[in-house]
Amino acid sequence: MGSSRSGRATIIIASLVAVGILTWAVFSAFAGSANTPQSTFLPASIQTVRVNSLYMLVFILAGIVFFGIMALTLIFSLMYRERPGQVARQFHGNSKLEVVWTLIPVLIVVVMAIPTFSTIHDTAQEPPKDALQVIAIGHQWWFEFQYPELGITTANELHVPVDRAVYITLESKDVIHSFWVPQLSGKIDMMPGHRNHLWFTPTVARPEPYLAQCAEFCGMSHANMRFRVFVDPANDFATWSKGAASDRVAPTSDIAKAGEAQFTAAGCIGCHTVQGNPVAVGKIGPNLTHFASRTTMASAMMDNSPENIRRWLSNPQAVKPGALMPNLHLSPDAIDKLVPYLGGLK
């Protein structure tokens, strides 16, 4: 009898250790994912903190159920397995046990339902009246951002102030896109002919941007449709917005004047706006008024540098397949003039 009990205890301990190791491995994997730039396990807004807390509650409850069932299945399959010369014991119902494991799932669902309804209610509220108004427009394959109250239009880099609600109206000019900043907001579709809305209050300002992207397949360069969100301290945002609302710096040097002339001669003015340049009023492509102040280019695909500007101008299709900007077959001389001109649009 003592040997049998010792064997059962060994089986139970070994089973629990195995389940514990598996649990540790799963949680370690999730903890490691929090170090990735687009991890939802590092919430940085009031809304994503609430959603992440709810998610972790559901995940923990589901984990307890899963690993509890796995542990019991393993223990029972070892303890009550059929052995040579021994018939497996037969069981025919247990009313108390059936009531218990009927009530346990009901209790778990109630525990999940209450905070779920509370989170849905809180995140679906109307934004505060002083929320920053932004219109985000999806294009194949880049993002346009308009600040109607501030008179700003920019592209692919969204600046917002910390600890202030941001109310974003979502639109699309062509196909269905999806606006997603994993650490700041959930995914909301950008529909042609229809406006959607979302709002969030960022709580963590930092020099590094929050990485974001389109989360709805929208064509050949869907994977290249990215953008960045900068959460700035209030003073820094005021400084940025003042500069972003101003006209471009008028060219004074010969090389800058030659670049602006080339910008006109190459037909760039038909697609791009440069505030302060009376003929550059195109609306097809991104607003380039303060292009050089952006950290990235080509929808945040690459750093904004003279080398990458040259690469883009030489053949946009080679950088972003399917891009609507055509290859203009610019001469080396024309590119030599455009690169410093674009690099001076601050």
Mean pLDDT per 10-residue interval, the chain, length 346 residues:
57 64 61 68 92 89 84 79 72 82 90 90 88 97 96 96 97 96 94 95 94 94 95 96 91 86 92 92 94 94 95 93 91 93 90
What is 132-244's CATH superfamily?
Cupredoxins -  blue copper proteins (2.60.40.420)
* Residues 6 or more apart in contact with residue 209 via CB below 8 angstroms: 157, 228, 229, 230, 295
Give the Cα separation of 155 and 137 in Å (integer): 9
Domain residue ranges in the chain: 2-84+91-123, 132-244, 254-342
Three-state SS for the chain is: CHHHHHHHHHHHHHHHHHHHHHHHHHHHHHHHHCCCCCCCCCCCEHHHHHHHHHHHHHHHHHHHHHHHHHHHHHHHHHHCCCECCECCCCCCCCHHHHHHHHHHHHHHHHHHHHHHHHHHHHHCCCCCCCCEEEEEEEECCEEEEEECCCCEEEECEEEEECCCCEEEEEEECCCCEEEECCCCCCCEEECECCCEEEEECECCCCCCCEEEEECCCCCCCHHHCEEEEEEECHHHHHHHHHHHCCCCCCCCCHHHHHHHHHHHHCCHHHCCECCCCCCCECCCCCCCCCHHHCCEECCCCEECCHHHHHHHHHCHHHHCCCCCCCCCCCCHHHHHHHHHHHCCCC
pLDDT at 291: 95
Give the Cα separation of 182 and 212 in Å (integer): 7
pLDDT at 75: 79
pLDDT at 15: 61
Within 10 angstroms of residue 54's Cβ, the number of other Cβ atoms is: 17
Give the Cα separation of 181 and 184 in Å (integer): 5
pLDDT at 297: 94
Residue 131: which of 117, 119, 152, 148 has the closest Cα? Answer: 148
pLDDT at 20: 66
Q: Classify residue 174 by burial, with Cβ atoms within 10 Å: 0-12, 13-18, 19+.
A: middle
| Same fold for the pair 132-244 and 254-342 | yes
CATH topology of domain 2-84+91-123: Helix Hairpins (1.10.287)
Give the Cα separation of 147 and 133 in Å (integer): 6
Question: Is this model's pTM higher than 0.85 or not?
Answer: no
Give the Cα separation of 44 and 6 in Å (integer): 51
pLDDT at 21: 67
CATH topology of domain 254-342: Immunoglobulin-like (2.60.40)
